[in-house]
Amino acid sequence: MSILEIIKEPWPWYIAGPLIGLTVPILLIIGNKSFGISSSLRHICAACIPANISFFKYDWKKESWNLFFVFGIFLGGVIAAYFLSNPNEVTITPELSEKLATYGITDHTGLVPKQLFSWESLLTLRGFIMIVVGGFLVGFGTRYAGGCTSGHAIMGLSNLQWPSLVATICFMIGGFVMALLILPYILSL
Chain segment 114-163, per-residue pLDDT in tens: 888 889 989 999 999 999 999 999 889 888 888 888 889 888 888 889 99
Per the CB < 8 A criterion, the answer to whether 148 and 37 are in contact is yes
* pTM for the structure as a whole: 0.76
* Alpha carbon distance 47, 63 (integer Å): 11
Banded model confidence at residue 166, pLDDT cuts 50, 70, 90: very high
Measured at the CA of 130, the angle between CA 124 and CA 134, to 5 degrees, comes to 135
Per the CB < 8 A criterion, the answer to whether 171 and 152 are in contact is yes
Categorise residue 89: left if φ over 0, alpha if ψ from -120 to 50, beta otherwise.
beta
